[in-house]
Each structure stands twice: as structure tokens, then as C-alpha cells.
Structure 1
């Protein structure tokens, strides 16, 4: 646990990122977090915000362009592509190994009732689930895997995968780019990142809870 916390601290340090692979490291992390089970603990939202800060740094303009706005667009395209590929890999993994996930016995990480719930959820609003999962830590790692497991329509999955990735990456990276060069933001980065996670996840959670309450009342 201490190792994980220490690793997360490094990953949210702009200077450490630039000294250890730069934004190419971010590409790898985004791919792992959005499609590989072991990446569920990685901080996607804060990392995109920090990446925006790095791009906005006047003295450390990231490659390959001299103009910051071109660099911002360039890296947002790469970040989006990385997280799209991550979701596709997660979908493939879930589909390929659904015989393991769908076995009658419960596993330590997945219960039969959860599989059925996921299946019903995707049947009703699968695309919406894939899109909003981007803004939910942990959920964004498992959502594409479950989608593959329950054999969600691939074209529908692909469309919402792309849409969700674009909205997620562009919104948070742009926010980091706009606010990241402000001294107060740099000096209070930890608090800003905590507020960011709460700001991003709260509306989604409230929306889901509201829908659930309305459904219960209807029943």
C-alpha cells in the first residue's frame, strides 16, 4: 500500500513526469488504467490535469511544436487515442475470457449477481454507461471489460468509447492547461486535484442515484 501511495505521489508531480518519460509515460498509464485490471488504482483524472499544466509551462514547452496550443492539440489527440485503445483492449479481454468470468462459481473479484446486473444495465443504456465511466475512478477500468463479457454490441461500444474518450481527455486536459500556469494552482496542487476528482465524479454519481430513486418510486 505504501508503495502504491508513493507511486501515485510521483505520478502527480509534473517535474517527475518530465524527467521519467515525459508525456509518453502518461500515454502508457492511460492505456493501462482504461483497459487492464491491474490499472484500476491509477489516477487518470489528476494525471490529465497535470499533463495540461506541463503543456502550459512556458519554460518547458513539450515537444514537438514550439507553439503551446499546437502541443495541447497534439497531446490531446494522443491521449484520446491511448485511452480508446485501452478500452478496446478491455473489451477484447472481457470477450475473450468471458468463459472464466461467466462460470457458475463466484470469484474473489466478481460475483454472479454483479455479472447479471451489468448485463441488464448495458441492455438498457450500455452506451451511456461506457461514456460516463470515463469520469469514474476504478469504474473506467472495469467498464469495458464487463462490456466485452456481456457481449455488448461492438459498434455501439466503439461509438461511445470514442465519444467518452474525447470528452474526458479534452475537458480535463484543457482545464489543466488553462489553470496550470497560475502560481496559486501550482502551490496548492494537491487540493486542486482532490477538488477535481470530486467535481468530476459528483455529478455522475448524483445522476445515477437520482435515476435509481426514480426507478424505485415508479416500481
Structure 2
């Protein structure tokens, strides 16, 4: 209702008149009984009587504690500002100046937004809210660009000398005149794909993954120590 009065300025007596028309059922009966005891004509007195009825001291204390510990957390600036305004009405004895109200709001902002606002030394509550909205929008825009920037950095790094580009595997049919890095020709048709691990053309699991000998396929020694390689060198006529 306070927001309506800020949008449609009216006198304090008119505020009371407009407010009483919003009462229904129990609230309307309570208001009629209250008017029998006192003719309430000012807005300040109306709020005092209304809060005594619907906001007892225990609830006010609860709201006061909630306001003291209020932080933006995961809320947007808009939701935080709405919650702040809602609770601030119960703490008029603490926030008695616009400067203190601005400082309290700024202190509860998200740390990233708060750090950017503190250096500006904004004097008014309205200025703090306005700058908080702008800062939040800038942070969101920066975060939305981060994935594309990371992708660009990755592509740039992979174009540096000494870093081989990803190997392309050709699974289609090809003639014997094609480059050898596209795979060896399969007698039955098609090509043997180039292995993405070792870069050679072969079927089955790569021996580099299993740490097996590239010549005999057994585990426990490398190609340079392969017994078959030794015997083949000693007897060149022996079959491989």
C-alpha cells in the first residue's frame, strides 16, 4: 500500500480513508470496533494501531533480527531491495538517516558488487540501488562471455608450434593414391582408420594403450627388446 501512496500522492487523512476500504472480514470488524474508541485521522496513528494489532512485539523483534542479518546471498538485487524495504519499516529507530540506510543496504550486497560500490562512496540510498543494478548487469554480461573466451584460448593454444592438431579419421572408401595419413587400404575394400592414439593405421585395440610390444604384441618388453626382433636380425631369411 505504501508503494501505491508513493505513486499516487495524497494527504495523510486520505491515506487512512483509502486503507480502511481494503479491510475485509475480521480486519473490517476490528477497524469498526477501533473507531468506536478513537477517531483515527492521521496516517502515523493508523500505522501504530495497525501494527499493535497485526504485528505484536515478538513478531517485530523477529523481523528486526532478520533485518540485521539480511544479506543478498543468491537473491538478485531486485529481490534483495524488495526484502530490505519490507523489513526496514520495522527498524525505523535504527535507520534514521538516508546515509545510514544506504550504508546498511550496501553492506548486505553480494561481495563482488559491494567491492565495486565501496570505492564510489555513494551518498544516497537511491544512488546505491541504481549502481547496484548496473554492476549486477555488468557481472552477468561478463559471465556470459566467459565460455566463449575459454574456447578461444583453447583454440589459440592448440595452434602453437609443437602441438599437433587433432587427427582426422577417414572411414570412407579411398584409392591407393591417397595420403598415407588417411589409413592403409583394406584388401576387402575401404580403409583402415588411423589410430587416434599412436597415429598409425591398424585394426583392434592400440598396443600403446595396453603397453604391449609393437612387434609381437606381448606384454613385458618394448619393441627394442623384442626377442623376435633379435632373431630376425640374426637370421634375415627367417619369416617375421
Tell me if TM exceeds 0.5. no
Whose relative contact order is higher, 1 or 2, with alpha carbons under 8 Å and at least 6 apart?
1
Q: Could you say which structure has the larger radius of gyration?
A: 2
Per the normalisation by structure 2, the TM-score is 0.24
The normalised TM-score by structure 1 is: 0.26
